């Protein structure tokens, strides 16, 4: 069954002065999914999120909410969103409860509805017993949890989060991941960005990989891995690789790509071809000393590396 589409992003482009930061993005956000935007630093994730939350304008293309352009309807559109910004936006001098009531109040909740929304959001954040404490006494992780609670108390249809777990303790991080799953279980749709591959593995139902302002792959974690499952990656720690060329390695059957660094040789090879002995023999012949070899099958990390040539945290 095709899910209902909430957001449609069509040929979206954005430039900052001379720099083209988004180069024609096309994707949808469908009801009930947890969609993750993944990409190295500077890929354009935050820019995309800022356009989708109506904070930033775009130059070309369009964003449709239930089939209608958000241009000229920003206010109504933003009422249906829950936005969790990268930076914590809370009133330090106010209690957890006051913060929640304030933010939920901005979305028009009053009276009993507001009381209930506040209680539910405190429960989601696991902060019921801290409801009357002021924020400045909270740990970083607790603030992040409350930040999310403030964004979802009004029960938005779509929650958009920009790196909601950056720089917090593992316990709060797990709590947040769990609460994202809970939100989905309650019928909300989530779009979020992250740098952490483990998070993508843990909660995403679909992944969009971006680099240099473009979408370079899209799929579930299973489908992305499957597309690269036929490959294996060798990492060799070496000395004396100066005389070795990637073209030497390409002569070995099965090798798809090779990168030669000062102390490391990275090789991607077809899984069905047993060629490690050939690789070792070739390096020996070229006077390269091998100190260590590791072999790895496709993981999201290797898929990502293959697509972008970069690790997530460099």
Ligand X SMILES: Nc1ncnc2c1ncn2[C@@H]1O[C@H](COP(=O)(O)OP(=O)(O)OP(=O)(O)O)[C@@H](O)[C@H]1O
Q: Interface with ligand X by CB under 6 A: which residues?
A: 16, 19, 21, 39, 41-47
CB of 263 to ligand X, least distance (A): 28
CB of 178 to ligand X, least distance (A): 24
CB of 29 to ligand X, least distance (A): 17
Q: What is the residue whose two structure tokens read 């304030």?
A: 102
Q: Would you say 45 or 206 has its CB closer to ligand X?
A: 45
Residues recorded for the chain? 314
d(CA 12, CA 10): 5
Residue 219: phi and psi, rounded to 5, are 165, 180
Number of H helices, E strands in the chain: 11, 14
Q: What are the tokens at 216?
A: 């370079």
CB of 48 to ligand X, least distance (A): 7
What is the H or E stretch that residue 225 is in? helix 221-227
**What is the distance of C-alpha 47 from the center of its chain?**
13
Nearest to 150, CA basis, from 167, 166, 164: 164
Neighbouring CB atoms inside 10 A of 61's CB total: 16
CB of 40 to ligand X, least distance (A): 7
Q: What are the tokens at 3?
A: 């899910």
Q: Would you say 46 or 308 has its CB closer to ligand X?
A: 46
Contact 203, 34 (CB under 8 A): yes
CB of 270 to ligand X, least distance (A): 32
Q: Would you say 47 or 275 has its CB closer to ligand X?
A: 47
d(CA 125, CA 109): 19
């Amino acid at each position: 069954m095709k899910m209902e589409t909430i957001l449609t992003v069509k040929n979206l482009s954005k430039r900052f002065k001379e720099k083209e930061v988004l180069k024609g993005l096309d994707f949808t956000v469908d009801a009930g999914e947890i969609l993750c935007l993944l990409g190295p630093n500077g890929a354009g994730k935050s820019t995309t999120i800022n356009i989708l939350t109506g904070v930033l304008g775009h130059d070309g293309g369009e964003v449709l909410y239930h089939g209608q352009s958000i241009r000229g309807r920003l206010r109504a559109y933003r009422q249906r969103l829950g936005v969790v910004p990268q930076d914590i936006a809370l009133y330090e001098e106010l209690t957890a409860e006051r913060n929640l009531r304030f933010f939920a109040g901005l979305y028009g909740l009053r009276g009993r509805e507001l009381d209930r929304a506040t209680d539910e959001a405190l429960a989601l954040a696991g902060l019921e017993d801290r409801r009357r404490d002021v924020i400045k006494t909270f740990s970083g992780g607790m603030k992040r949890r409350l930040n999310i609670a403030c964004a979802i108390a009004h029960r938005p249809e779509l929650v958009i989060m920009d790196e909601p777990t950056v720089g917090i303790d593992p316990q709060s991080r797990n709590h947040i991941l769990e609460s994202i799953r809970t939100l989905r279980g309650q019928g909300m749709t989530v779009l979020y960005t992250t740098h952490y591959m483990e998070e993508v593995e843990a909660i995403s139902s679909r992944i969009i990989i971006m680099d240099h302002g473009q979408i370079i792959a899209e799929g579930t974690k299973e489908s992305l891995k499957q597309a690269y499952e036929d490959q294996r990656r060798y990492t060799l720690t070496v000395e004396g690789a100066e005389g070795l060329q990637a073209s030497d390695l390409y002569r070995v059957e099965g090798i798809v790509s090779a990168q030669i660094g000062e102390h490391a040789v990275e090789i991607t090879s077809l899984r069905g071809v047993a060629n490690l002995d050939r690789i070792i023999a070739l390096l020996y012949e070229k006077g390269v000393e091998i100190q260590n070899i590791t072999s790895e099958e496709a993981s999201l990390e290797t898929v990502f590396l293959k697509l972008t040539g970069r690790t997530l945290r460099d």
